Structure 1
Amino acid sequence: MDACLEQVMRAVLDLPVGAAIRPDQELESALGVDSLFLMSIVVGVEAERGIELSAASIGSVRTVGDLDRAVGEALGAVGEI
């Protein structure tokens, strides 16, 4: 998992350091991430990484792994410029 994503998720969701964040976890049911939390996470990662996640990629995010892939794709797009 992207370290920045994990750090932002822990901060936004106020998760303790030892709490597991796994790729298979559903954002809403397992972590309580609603649309406002998701946007806070996205904005935080975008600011830290200097990337922009597309609305399409954000709209299809259901799990931590989905969000991690979206960040990875955005980072790859930055590298292609």
Structure 2
Amino acid sequence: MNQKFEGIIRSIGEIPESTVLDETQRFEADLDVDSLALMDIIVNVEAEFGIEIEAVHRFATLGELWQQVELLSAGAGI
């Protein structure tokens, strides 16, 4: 994960800087990020990284979303 990605997660999910983020954390259970906030995170990640994430993907953890960002970013030449 990188700082831009983590910044989006923290800002929209209202997660304090004191909370250490790692790829195993679950959006809802560990970070208290509901489905509406997760959609907002995805939209902001798409805009920041210049990618489009298919609506059929379901992301339970930070790592799952970050892996998709990396995969799509590599294909976009970013």
Normalised TM-score (structure 2): 0.87
AA in 2 matched with 1:77: G
Structure 1 residue aligned with 2:65: 67
Aligned counterparts, 1:24-39, within 5 A: 24-39=24-39
* Structure 2 stretches lacking a partner, 5+ long: none
Q: RMSD of the TM alignment (CA)?
A: 1.5
Count of residues paired in the alignment: 78
CA distance in 1, matches of 2:77, 2:19: 32
Normalised TM-score (structure 1): 0.85
Query: Identity over aligned residues, as a percent?
Result: 36
* Structure 1 stretches lacking a partner, 5+ long: none
Measured after TM superposition, the shift of residue 55 of structure 1 is: 1.9
Compare the two structures and name the one with the higher helix fraction.
1
Structure 1: which 4+ aligned runs deviate by more than 6 Å? none
